[in-house]
Structure 1
């Protein structure tokens, strides 16, 4: 049986990480190691988290880094380098496996074709998820699995490259062959890798039966900050995002969400949708054009101020 390790970056982890670790230990296909890349040792509760692995076959490795050292791509890459498994599963510390078959379903998705370089899980809304975000989860993570390759670009556009490190499994040999995640990125390291993989002739698998619980109730301002960083990541990687643009997919989501709200008795949420969508687009547009913005404005817009320390992005 192939060995699968799990890599989880953490920062000020809490109850969700404990629940995530407990459910990883209950998987029908056991994981070999859990590799934690923790930001700032002072926030790590060793007694709480490490005690879960006492007497378990799954081993825990914890590596501490400073906040100034964290990078979405490089930190995960360093975790994968610490693994010797056939498959590395990247997860975030705020997602929770829905059932005992998460690892099993991800491995089966990787086995769908020799061309599959990565497989990502379906994200289900948490109990406290708002109405609009609940629909967005269904839009981005439908109930039907599929493979996506270069031959699907005309049909899927930018969604051909969609992949999420909230929960995604990578064939380690292909990952290393392609150079892994970009080593300095503000965001979107998963889609950047997926784009390179597709261009190299590989496929990305969406595994709808591999499920995690993960959602956010972002405010309009938080959406603006998040999408600013998204826009920056796309501006810095025209080799991936230069040909297939995101704007059309975003407009399609807004239209379908508005239609769904009207048809399901949520007309009063339309102003909230307009506010959220406007904030998303404003952040995205500013991020795409960040090279023309003053440094002070950039720092007020980003969710990742540490990224801008020293030389960051493309030429700044």
Structure 2
């Protein structure tokens, strides 16, 4: 049996609501020389039952006690056969049938990693939509200088991973750490704007706080010369909140986002401040809180893309939801 060109690896935990849409989108792709694997970390809601309605190749299991983002990725790549490994969060889905094609296209001989665009849908908080726009622009970046990347929508060269596995001890930002290490080794990172996914975040305020806190802990370990003071927290909360309100006013998002804006920004920067200034190591109890906290809409489609023939029509799968892009 020939080796697939790419292996799509999906990390999941209790993603019954979202996993089917992602898999539907994967099997609509123009690239068909792929295998699809799930790495499940203890789902109890029927996620795997939904996934097995599609012709997935394998499910790799990792216990909640063993889980970290880096370890889950290492498990997935260990089980994969592809020359390139594509990572997708279980709560994302591609907007176009050439998503994989566009994500794999920039892999010239010196490129180790390519990541793609992320946008939100109507469940996405307005400040996070602005975060997506800032970090994932509408233009390609060929061989960027920064190690930034995001494994919710990315692909790596397997041969590079074989020499530099993901750090399994980090509570987050395993992608940034890997990007930093491969850049230091002389490899390149590129960004593919047309490799677009919708990233569905339905987090509570506590979950936003925990996400930014654990990522700040990881960032401090990866970039050990960085710091974040309480003054930074207050300054960035104020400036970003004001900027969000101005943008929301221009875009007609008020009064609907009036409360969500300061709540999200407060949790974002309080979590970041707390994480950067945490003196004690991450305990098993805190790690459990980060990864397993107690705890229908329409996508916001990029205006730059108007090729209807490559749009994935999810309406047949989802019933009454119409995903047809709105023309300007």
Task: State the TM-score, normalizing by the size of structure 1.
Answer: 0.78
Note if contact 1:224-1:301 (Cα within 8 Å) is conserved in structure 2.
no
Task: Determine the C-alpha separation between the residues in 2 that align with 1:220 and 1:51.
Answer: 33
Q: Report what 2:102 is aligned to.
A: 105
Inter-partner Cα distance in structure 1 for 2:227 and 2:81: 35
RMSD: 3.2
Partner in structure 2 of residue 50 of structure 1: 52
Superposed, which structure 2 residues align to 1:259-278 within 5 Å? Answer: 259-266=246-253, 269=257, 272-278=260-266
Question: In structure 1, what is the equivalent of residue 39 of structure 2?
Answer: 37
Q: Which runs of 4+ in 1 moved over 4 A?
A: 41-47, 243-248, 250-256, 265-272, 292-296
Q: Which has the higher helix share?
A: 1
Which whole-Å CA distance do the structure 2 matches of 1:272 and 1:48 have between them? 32
Relative to structure 1, the CA distance from residue 275 to residue 16 in structure 2 (aligned partners, 3 Å threshold; closer, same or farther) is closer
Residue pair 1:6, 1:31 contacting (<8 A) in 2 also: no
Alpha-carbon distance between aligned partners in 1 of 2:203 and 2:292, rounded to the nearest angstrom: 19
Q: 2:191: which partner in 1? A: 206
- Report the CA distance shift for 1:245/1:107 in structure 2 as closer, same or farther (over 3 A): farther
Q: Name the CA distance, whole Å, in 2 between partners of 1:45 and 1:135.
A: 30
Structure 2 matches for 1:1-316, cutoff 5 A? 3-40=5-42, 42-44=44-46, 46-53=48-55, 59-111=56-108, 114-149=109-144, 152=145, 160-177=146-163, 179-238=164-223, 242=225, 256-266=243-253, 269=257, 272-292=260-280, 299=286, 302-304=289-291
Hey, what's the Cα distance between the residues in 2 that align with 1:257 and 1:15? 30
User: Structure 1 pair 28/228, CA: closer, same or farther in 2 (3 Å)?
Assistant: same
Residues 285 and 47 of structure 1, relative CA distance in 2, 3 Å threshold: closer
Classify the secondary structure of the residue corresponding to 2:18.
Answer: helix
Which runs of no fewer than 5 residues in structure 2 stay unpaired? 294-328
Aligned residues: 286
Q: Which moved more, 1:275-284 or 1:93-102?
A: 275-284
Matches of 2:135 and 2:165 in 1, distance apart?
A: 24
CA-CA distance at 1:47 after TM superposition: 4.6
Change over 3 Å in CA distance of 1:232–1:48 after alignment to 2: same
Distance, in Å, in 1 between the alignment partners of 2:36 and 2:267 is 37
Q: How far apart are residue 301 of structure 1 and its match?
A: 10
Provide structure 1 residue ranges, at least 5 long, that are not aligned to the other structure.
54-58, 153-159, 307-316
